[in-house]
A and B are shown apart, each in its own frame.
Chain A
Amino acid sequence: MATGLLGVSLTGLAAAQAGIRTAQHNISNINTPGFRRQEVNYSSLTPDQAGASFYGTGVGVTTVRNLYSQFQDSQVLLNQAQLSRNEALSTQASQIDSLTGNPNSGLSSAMNAFFDAAQTVASDPASNVARQVMLSAGSNLVSRFNTLATSLDDLRKGTNRDIATTVTRINTLAGQVAAMSGNITRFESGIGQLANDLRDQRDQLVGELNKLVNITPVQQGDGTYNLFIGNGQPLVVGASVTPMVSIPDTTNPGFDVPAFNLAGGSQMPLDASIISGGKLGGLLAARESVLMPARADLDTLAFELATQFNAQHTVGFDKSGAAGINFFTDLTTLATPPKGAAFGMSMNIAMNDPDLIAASATAPGSPGDNTNALLLAGLQTAPNTVNGSDTFFSFYAQLVSRTATVASEADIGVAAFETLTRISTQAQQSVSGVNLDEEATNLIRFQQAYQASARAMQIASGLFDDLISSLR
């Protein structure tokens, strides 16, 4: 290293250049996601001993480091995982909420209309118009059940697809993190300095991954990350990734569940109790707290309504005095618990003849008898028709209420975690974010330092000139 008058100034010029270059780097990356502002660390160089004194030899760059707070970073990860979870949960629950709670697509208005029609038959049992209206209302109720069941089934398929694509994306990101870890180790072991920008990129990938499934990163001594999900299931260890797959859920037929593809070919399912955050956590929570119960309840309701209405209908007699037949197609053939009852509900094909409505309780020849019609209509308000404690309507209201409550809680969760994520991101950025005014100041600071060093160099050069010209 050059020492002496010119040499000392040279180190000053180099140091100022390093500062300017870093400020330029910071300014250039102001919009780069995950970028952390960098700072040059300086220290004075080892002094020269001349006689009894030490003379300074200038300045050197120790390192360029990025500024961050591990605590703030982990806060952002935690909040972001819950925000993504609540967003996914809210989307799913809101869809089911608008299906079941909406007067146009929900069941309540169709059930009301159906029992209204049954009442009209009861007050005018011989009227063909009233009977026809009851048949139409019955068909409408059945198609409403079918539509709801189909929509919920579409949501089931959609959730399965979402889980599959999310798992694929998780695998991609986990692979990138592992690859990046390898790069960081190689770079850093080569020069013994931190590869700031690579680390930023790696952490950005972890952040993306964390939106999909909540991640606990554990930093290793060599700069690599081990990433754990759930209760400590390893996703990335060093440069190796445990791949995830989406497999059929054995406890809930028809639903898929994410799983780890373990070495040796076995698979480890990860349900909502293990994955509690990120989009995947939200999807699993929505499935378990809204979609599954809604489907089951809708099935129960369809099954009970059809079975009990049929039971009452078949003890009556139709307009011509013949014994009543099933009003709805018999659902007892479906497996119990009544899976797919709402899906399979249909009007009895023979019931397209309004005369077959069994309004009468006496056989034969009593078209004016409404005793059975009164009992049929009375099923609307009869207590204990479902689950031994509910009317058809109150049972449905519970379904709507539960769905709406989950959706509402998820909405509140989204709002809360949006705020928390914003606050923690701001706190994180207050350490790591680039401030242009600050960089402008830095530029000026280093520019002036550069100018001063250059001036010092000029003076040194002048000294030499003076010396040389005095010797002429």
Chain B
Amino acid sequence: MRIDSLTYLSTSLVGIQSNQNGIARLNQQIATGLRMQSSKDDPISAVKAMELSERIAVRTQYAENQTKAELDLKYENVALREMGSVLNQVRGLLLSASSSQTVPLGSAYSAQLKGAFDQLLDLANTRNTAGEYIFGGTATNLQPFANGSTSTVPAATTFGGAPPPGPAVISATREIQIGSSQRVQVTDSLTGALSFTDAEAGAAIIDAANPAFVPATGRHDVLQNLAHAITTIAAGTATDENMQSYISIVDVAARKLNEIEQRVAGALTEIKSLRASSEAVLLLEKNALSDLTQVDKAAAIVELQSRQTSLEAISRAYALTSGLSLFNYLS
């Protein structure tokens, strides 16, 4: 085929340009560490990478939620365990005290019971590091249990029926999202543990602190009973029936607290196993993302080398052939 002089001279240019483009692109890839400089370089991979990034972001957030849930539950666990040991101590005191003891001895028991009462009240009003009452249901800003009496004799009350927050608020629990379709309960209500109905207790219990107790609707209040015990034991007016009532109410409370503790332990186990599996998936997804987006540095450098070689070859070829002209030989 006939070839014109401009085509002859510019043939090398195409190769030079394409190699220069390739080298610039490789340089950019190596500098940024990214295989794709924009989505159009590989639309399918780019969108897949975007979707993966979103999944990773969501999963990372779930992992953070798991940590937060774990922290909340561990905090609660400590408070519950403490409460259990206080109730144990109360039970021991009530067993050793008898209805027929002398007043001075009764006062001594009463004083010890008062200490346990204060401790229990404190624990029921436990606040987390952010200053929220952890047993306050969703009314985390209000003290859920209060000693309503100003005298030395306590008369603790729990929220219930009173204007805000109402019983629904105090007994509400909170859940945290720890997986795409998995939530874990991170707070518990003490309304079933520190106050309960006969039905919840599973037996008809005589309520010494509340002689007008209506089994169908009434709730036994542990703190109220303890307050009652402190008064009667100190005054020596506690009857055998009273003592029986105190002990059985404390027993039910201890059992209920234990149930909550078991739930918390179960939730912690659930988080732990979920964390293990979601961390594995997260790692998998992160690897997949880096496979999609990261440049293979070794391959890039090898390609750079070969591009450089061919650029040099083309340049040399151009230098050799561009000087050829018949005019040079005519004199």
Contacts and interface: CB of A to CB of B under 8 A. Distances in A.
Interaction A to B: yes
Nearest to A427: B1
Interface stretch (A167-175, A229-237, A437-445): A437-445
Contacts of B39: 97-98, 100-101, 400-401, 403-404, 407
A150 B120 CA distance: 61
Given A102-B38, A119-B61, A126-B132, A364 B164 contact: yes
Given A112-B57, A116-B61, A434-B4, A374 B50 contact: no
A119 B53 CA distance: 17
Interface stretch (A249-257, A294-302, A324-332, A365-373): A365-373
B140 A368 contact: yes
Given A400-B46, A435-B3, A435-B4, A368 B132 contact: yes
B319 to A, nearest CB: 18
A440 B164 contact: no
B141 interface: yes
A112 B6 contact: no
B299 to A, nearest CB: 21
A429 B4 contact: yes
Interface string A340-380: 00000000000000000000101011111110001001101
Contacts of B68: 123-124
A57 interface: no
A374 B177 contact: yes
A441 B329 CA distance: 11
B158 to A, nearest CB: 16
Contacts of A403: 39-40
A378 B165 CA distance: 27
A444 B6 CA distance: 21
B74 interface: no
B4 A94 contact: no
Interface string A81-121: 00000000000011001101111000011011001100110
B46 A370 contact: no
Contacts of B326: 436-437, 440-441
A122 interface: yes
Contacts of A101: 38-40, 46, 50
A192 B80 CA distance: 113
Sorting the interface of chain A by its residue count into under 10, 10 to 19, 20 to 34 or 35 or more gives 35 or more
A100 B177 CA distance: 30
A93, A123, A394, A435 interface centre (most CB from chain B within 10 Å):
A123
B174 interface: yes
A393 interface: yes
Contacts of B47: 397, 400-401, 404
A430 B7 contact: yes
A408 B43 CA distance: 7
A433 B6 contact: yes
A395 B49 CA distance: 15
A374 B168 contact: no
A97 B61 contact: no
Contacts of A321: 164
B65 interface: yes
B40 A94 contact: yes
A127 B4 contact: no
A115 to B, nearest CB: 8
A74 to B, nearest CB: 19
A458 interface: no
A123 B69 contact: yes
B325 to A, nearest CB: 6
A431 interface: yes
Contact of B130 (A124, A370, A378, A405): A124
Interface string B51-65: 101100110011011
Contacts of A397: 47, 50-51
Contacts of A111: 54
A433 B11 CA distance: 14
Interface string A384-397: 00000000011001
A162 interface: no
Contacts, number: 178
B174 A365 contact: no
A46 interface: no
Contacts of A431: 2
A405 B43 contact: yes
Given A366-B172, A367-B141, A430-B7, A440 B330 contact: yes
B139 interface: yes
A127 B38 CA distance: 39
Contacts of A272: none
A26 to B, nearest CB: 10
Given A116-B61, A368-B136, A404-B46, A122 B40 contact: no
Nearest to A392: B54
Interface string A22-40: 0000000011000001000
A200 interface: no
Nearest to B1: A430
Nearest to A391: B54
Interface in B24-56: 38-44, 46-47, 50-51, 53-54
B169 interface: yes
B183 interface: yes
B314 to A, nearest CB: 16
A326 B140 CA distance: 25
Contacts of B187: 368
Interface in B147-178: 164-165, 168-169, 172, 174-177
B177 A437 contact: no
Nearest to A447: B330
B177 A122 contact: yes
Contacts of B58: 112, 115, 380-381
A437 B5 contact: yes
Contacts of A97: 38-40
Contacts of A362: 138, 168-169, 172
A340 B3 CA distance: 57
Given A365-B164, A434-B4, A437-B5, A98 B38 contact: yes
B20 to A, nearest CB: 15
A156 to B, nearest CB: 20
B167 to A, nearest CB: 12
A393 B54 contact: yes
A30, A119, A381, A438 interface centre (most CB from chain B within 10 Å):
A119
Nearest to B2: A430
Contacts of A441: 326
A94 B46 CA distance: 14
A434 to B, nearest CB: 6
A5 B51 CA distance: 92
B70 to A, nearest CB: 11
Given A126-B132, A366-B169, A368-B132, 13 more contacts: A100-B39, A108-B54, A122-B176, A123-B64, A360-B138, A365-B142, A365-B165, A366-B138, A367-B138, A397-B51, A408-B40, A430-B4, A437-B325
Q: Closest 7 CB pairs between A and B?
A: A433-B4, A101-B39, A368-B140, A407-B40, A404-B39, A404-B43, A366-B138
19 contacts: A30-B6, A98-B39, A101-B46, A108-B50, A115-B58, A116-B61, A126-B132, A321-B164, A362-B169, A365-B141, A368-B138, A397-B50, A397-B51, A401-B43, A401-B46, A403-B40, A404-B46, A430-B7, A438-B2
